Structure 1
Amino acid sequence: MPVAVREADSEERGRTRPVRWVVAAGVAVLALLLAGVLAFAFTSGDDEPRVPGVDSADAGFARDMAVHHQQAVEMSFIVRDRTDDEDVRRLAYDIANTQANQRGMLLGWLDLWQLPKVAPDGAGPMVWMEEEGGHGGHGAGGAAAMPGMASEEELERLGRLRDEEAEVFYLQLMTDHHQGGVPMAEACVSLCAVPAEKRLAAGMVEGQQSELRLMRDLLADRGAKPRT
């Protein structure tokens, strides 16, 4: 009987919590976009506002990090339904909301700049990072070419695991994800021209480095380590 109650509670959470997460993220995105709508351009030497070009680091970072963030949100929703551990669920909630908000800002800027949300002419991800010590140039390998991205097989495995196994695998996947995302954000801090985007990227570096430390501790509590 207690098992049935727990299963019913889990099903109820599955029906209600995604709505609350999505609504909260959507409201925050709208607020952030309204607050930053006047800061979407940068100023040239003659003090005239300019919009980044389609091949700029600003546009490339916005496109690539929006894709990168989307997978982090997806993984966080998956693990939320695979465990009842409050520490992991709280982390997943924070990551899903933060990265959904940031993704909304990045896509909103692309809209304001009237730039495509996919790389033009079939260019692969990370090309905009080539100036930054040769980290880019992955070619047209798709999203999987971006550092830290989980494979489809890994996402499917996460969806099959439960409880501590799901917690450990999520923490390992998200550690890889952040370790790939931090250098991308650091590159934008160096290469992007739009001040608001540079500030957002710097905040990503700080936030994800803090989460990396937390995830290392959560893994240690479970007798596990990061994969890399």
Structure 2
Amino acid sequence: MLRLCLPRVLQPCVLGLRGRFHLQKCSLGTHKHKEKLELLNSPQGAKDFIYSLHPTERSCLLKELQNFESMAIAQEKLEALPPNASQLRYVLLHNAIPFVGFGFLDNAIMIAAGTQIEISIGVTFGISTMAAAALGNLVSDLAGLGLAGYVEALAARLGMQIPDLSPKQVDMWQTRVSSHMGKAIGVTIGCILGMFPLLFLSDDDEEETKGAPLTRPTDSK
């Protein structure tokens, strides 16, 4: 069973999360992700994003954009200091917490679903181990579409407010590095914690090995 589990543990930590969780309607970081910037950098991309929002979300987004731009214009001629160490640590922690949940759910669901697919559909139709792993990843991706919002809501209930930074500080490279480091650390911790189904799978492998009938070599004489 480890032939199935190990490839699935190593593969999804970044690939499965990159396209799924960074395109949520509510941004949890202090700035937009690079992929989202490229998406909204064109009129068509911005239009597609706006049409995908609920009317209440569009009103809230417009209000926050106006506030942000007014603050940026007012502070345009002022020289902003880089964020201090305490602010950068808060930015890192603020981005890490939700991604712990994302990584945990992605790995745990994929391992559990892939294993069940291998021992049921895989045995019936004779599909390969990697095909079962791919189907398990599909189940994990579909589950992530519905669970991502709950993870974000749970992270918000922990009381982690948006870091209090000025518009210039938000765009500084120190803030961006801290944000990306927080996401990477959170995904890493979540994926490691999500490997817990492997503990139960290894026990099942031992039981199957012990229960397998032993074959004796036939006497050639």
Q: TM-score range by the shorter chain?
A: under 0.3
Q: Which has the higher contact order (CA 8 A, sep 6+)?
A: 2
- Tell me which structure has the larger Cα radius of gyration: 2
After TM superposition, the score normalised by the length of structure 1 is 0.24
